[in-house]
């Protein structure tokens, strides 16, 4: 299965054109990010629904802090209605720094995610929801229309969140690109599934990867460098050490990003960082990296930002060389 991510910093009609192109190239899913500083995710998904026919439409990912979970259920159910049953919901705890900027408390992300998914499933099934959770409290609320069956994906990184995904979600979206990360992640997902008495194969394992594809290697790498820099600066030491990346080098990148010194940022991104945190290069090298992930159990490859130096060309290349070659 193949997905593609778009950030609604671009005009919505432009994203609609990209999404239609992705649909024509054989992509299964489109994931739209949900951040307060970009265009609203559900409004964007509604427009995409009206401009496409088969591609599934998802939040990649929303969170349980900025919206009451009943409103999330209502919004994704409306997208499902508009699209003729093509909605998928990605939800995750998000980034503490973002919520700090918004004045929202980021508390107990693991428990909040668990209770939110529990409430979502109840809402979408049409039940009257009475949930006296510690973080999510619902007192007799119920949807007034039939929502339909909407798959729920959990955005997860750490071992406990990955295990939770194996317990309660239909799929998991993991911001990673390298087999080393997925070898560890898949074990945690499997442990969670077995704990819940589920077959681990029921859980769609998504590599939500920094992706950049172009016929010219240097152009593909150049487009992905700034994204990789942000990933490196935000990665915990355990992940950096797993890939043999010096923690001080990551700190240097983070400090330069904070100062807006992007010359230093780009100069500090090494080949090792690019290999660890992106799938980028020619169609041949990207196809090889995709195949390596599929071999170890990744079941959905998400072509995430930046996609490539030229989105139209890169979407077509991905469709022809990666999807067409599978």
Three-state SS string across 217-285, please? Answer: HHHHHHHHHHHHHHHHHHCCHHHHHHCCCCHHHHHHHHHHHHHCCHHHHHHHCCHHHHHHHCEEECHHH
Q: What is the pLDDT of residue 240?
A: 93
The pLDDT of residue 325 is above 90: no
Q: For the chain, how many residues are written?
A: 326
Task: Say which range, 188-192, 235-239, 270-274, has the weakest mean pLDDT.
Answer: 235-239
261 within a domain of the structure (yes/no)? no
Token pair recorded at residue 241:
């050490």
- Does residue 244 fall inside a structural domain? no
- Is the pLDDT at 148 greater than 90, yes or no? no
Q: How confident is the model at residue 98 (pLDDT cuts 50, 70, 90)?
A: confident
Asked, for residue 144, whether it belongs to a domain, the answer is: yes
Looking at residue 285, which CATH number applies to its domain? 3.20.20.30
Please check whether residue 16 lies inside any domain of the structure. yes
pLDDT of residue 97: 81
Under 8 Å CB-to-CB from 63, ≥6 apart: which residues? 34, 91, 92, 93, 94
Distance CA 156, CA 173 (A): 6
Q: How confident is the model at residue 326 (pLDDT cuts 50, 70, 90)?
A: confident
Domain count, the chain: 1
Let me know if residue 265 belongs to a domain. no
Distance CA 216, CA 149 (A): 42
Token duo for residue 280:
């980028």
Taking the model in full, what pTM does it have? 0.94
Asked, for residue 138, whether it belongs to a domain, the answer is yes
In this structure, how many other beta carbons lie within 10 angstroms of the beta carbon of residue 234?
A: 15
Asked if the structure places residue 200 within a domain, the reply is yes
For 71-89, how does the pLDDT look when each residue is reduced to its tens digit (9 = 90+)?
999 999 999 999 999 999 9
Q: Which domain holds residue 8?
A: 2-216+278-323
> For the segment 258-308, what is each residue's pLDDT rounded down to a tens digit?
899 999 999 999 999 999 999 999 999 999 999 999 999 999 999 999 999
Q: Assess if residue 250 is contained within a domain.
A: no
């Amino acid at each position: 299965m193949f997905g593609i991510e778009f950030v609604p910093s671009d005009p919505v009609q432009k994203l609609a054109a990209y999404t239609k192109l992705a649909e024509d190239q054989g992509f299964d899913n489109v994931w739209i990010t949900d951040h307060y500083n970009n265009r609203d995710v559900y409004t964007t998904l509604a427009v995409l629904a009206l401009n496409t026919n088969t591609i599934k439409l998802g939040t990649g990912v929303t969170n349980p802090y900025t919206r009451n979970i009943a409103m999330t259920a209502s919004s994704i159910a409306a997208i499902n209605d508009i699209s003729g049953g093509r909605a998928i919901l990605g939800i995750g705890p998000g980034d503490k720094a973002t919520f700090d900027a918004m004045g929202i408390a980021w508390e107990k992300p693991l428990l909040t995610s668990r209770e939110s998914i529990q409430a979502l499933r109840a809402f979408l099934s049409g039940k009257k929801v009475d949930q006296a959770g510690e973080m999510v409290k619902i007192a007799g609320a119920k949807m007034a229309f039939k929502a339909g069956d909407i798959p729920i994906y959990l955005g997860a990184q750490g071992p406990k969140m990955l295990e939770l995904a194996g317990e309660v979600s239909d799929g998991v979206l993991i911001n990673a690109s390298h087999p080393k990360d997925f070898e560890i992640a898949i074990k945690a997902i499997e442990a969670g599934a077995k704990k819940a008495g589920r077959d681990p194969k029921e859980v769609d394992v998504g590599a939500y990867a920094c992706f950049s594809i172009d016929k010219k290697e240097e152009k593909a790498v150049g487009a992905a460098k700034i994204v990789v820099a942000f990933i490196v600066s935000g990665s915990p030491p355990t992940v950096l050490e797993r890939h043999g990346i010096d923690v001080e080098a990551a700190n240097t990148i983070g400090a330069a990003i904070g100062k807006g010194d992007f010359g230093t940022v780009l100069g500090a991104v090494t080949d090792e960082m690019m290999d660890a945190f992106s799938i980028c290069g020619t169609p041949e090298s990207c196809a090889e990296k995709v195949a390596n992930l599929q071999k170890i159990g990744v079941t959905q490859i998400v072509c995430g930002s930046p996609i490539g130096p030229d989105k139209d060309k890169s979407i077509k290349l991905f469709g022809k060389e990666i999807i067409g070659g599978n």
